[in-house]
Structure 1
Amino acid sequence: MATILVIEDNQAIRENIAEVLEMASYQVLEAADGKQGIILAETRQPDLIVCDLSLPILDGFVVLQMLNNEKKPFKIPFIFLTARAERAEIRKGMEMGADDYITKPFNPSELLSAIECQLKKAAHTRSAALKAGGATIDRLPAEDTEPFKNLIRDRNIRTFKNKQIIYQEGTHPSCLYFILKGFVKAYRIDEDGKEMITGLFKEGDFLGYIPVLERSRYNDTAEAIDQVIVSVIPVQDFEELMGQKFAREQMIKMLTHTIEEKELQLLRMAYDSLRKRAADTLLTVFNKYNVAGDQNVGIKFSRGNLAALAGVAKESFARTLADFRDEHLIEIRHGVIYLLDIRKLNQLSN
């Protein structure tokens, strides 16, 4: 049962929302002002927040800003609920990281639909770990990460330049990599010579762990995107750590995300439309780059990499980008893609 935090100073409206959500089988937390809402959000960790914009003590913008400053592995979906309908207000909220914006008066079905959409998106983000991520210690509780931090500490450091191969498909692993800085793509080349990206890894991710665990060859190739710095962990040291029951259980938890994300990626490639794939790919890469919560971060991936990640032809992806640009969903400056309307892209993705 998902938990929804409702931050609304009008008691009648707050109670009405709570009643609707409880009838829809959600667990509801209520806050009458922004300060109380922040405290509940930090202590109870709800699955989603519905927040009025005009609040006493701290308004909705401040609530969102303060919650975004909290460094957590996953962002709590945030829906603004307000009587204001000015375009500037809506744009400000979305630029600050709000996921949706509902104007009063509203139909209960509209609210439930928005909540369901954002919960599904959040579930996909958590399970797929941004669709193409890897096992990362950031997904574990802080007290469970110490064995992995010790594994990484005091290791040889290697730097890879842009497009430099980190490991090659068909070779046996001699070490495990932990990414300290940068992005890495893993890919395969099919029989027609088409590249398909099988994984996208960022700072804090383990790289090349599955062949080590399976004692098998690499089934894809890993390549640096721009400059990448990694910590090199000998296979023997990793295997010794996996001999400990506690560490093994934690690694299994992390690897579960990898299995789920591969299944989701294949399903999307099989059934999603081109526009949906393109929107989802842009959001995936944007979230990878946007680790600091800056909505103005640009996507510096090449069109070929983006198309390979989406599993479509480069020409088709380029045409879709052109359509998105004409629809003012994105802007392209000096080859860098900036997302102008994240809300609409999320709607296309979902």
Structure 2
Amino acid sequence: GSEADYIAPWNSEATLGEETGSPTLTELCYPNVTGSCLKAPYSPGPQLMLYTLFGVGAVLAVFGNLLVVTSILHFKQLHSPAKFLLASLASADLLVGVTVMPFSMVRSVESCWYFGPSFCTFHTCFDVAFCYSSLFHLCFISIDRYMAVTDPLVYPTKVTVSVSGICVSISWILPLAYSSAVLYTGVYDDGLEELSRALNCVGGCQTVVNQNWVLIDFLSFFIPSLIMIILYSNLFLVARQQAKKIEHTGGKTKSSLESYKSRVAKRERKAAKTLVDAYMGFITPAYIYEICCWCAYYNSVMNPLIYALFYPWFRKAIKVIVSGSVFKDHSATMNLFSEQM
């Protein structure tokens, strides 16, 4: 809303309808508290629809990503540097579903923050941190996929579990440190203290950010995004060139090396497409705050659905977990890539 919308809640008295002349009470987040924010509730129908939409999203984010993490950690066949990156990404998305989405759902539907100012800062910190963490994970995954396609024979020696662990650590430590430092030190609203106090009515959870930190946030998103765009563009060019070479090579003249490369390239192209599709959830207009937030939140829902759609090994893992067979002896060593279960 406009600035006036946020300043208006400081008046908690009843107002008269200009057209009808009948008294109408202004709805407030906290009716008995001076300086309460205005409440702009939806009618029951849209309210139920929004709670259902957002609630289902939160549930899918939690259980879908929990399946991804459980699958990769339980089945030894999935213990690889690339899969560990996916498991870490799924962990970030799972935490979005647990610590961010339920509270944002209430804020979005009720237009009020009922969880206190301290938890508002905590919630915003996690919101920012997990969003950056997902972005960093996707950036490292794009680097991993690019190396796997362009140099598949050397790739296993360059991308080890240790290297994957370093990427995971960076993807968690930097976003958490950044968001905590910025939000808990209060540097984000330097020079805008008066505006911040004016907008900080009781029942609100708005963050005012000055131009310097807007620029820093923009660069923090732009640089990893640019890296991904460049790498995936080159990846698709390389994959297309490899496909043309394979088409021009007769079946009898194919060497075992070329055959291996073709199998790797095919598998990695599918992985690249999947991850690009997942990443597209981040490219969302920022001028509508709630829409922007929920598009980002729903990106946390999309990854497990994409895996289930494109990866047979994930569908098999889900069947084993849901059926309870995961608790049987030797289930961790079963072959998820075979045609039969």
Task: Tell me the TM-score normalised to structure 1 length.
Answer: 0.23
**Greater fraction of residues in helix:** 2
Larger RCO (alpha carbons 8 Å, 6+ apart): 2
Larger Rg: 2
Task: Tell me the TM-score normalised to structure 2 length.
Answer: 0.24
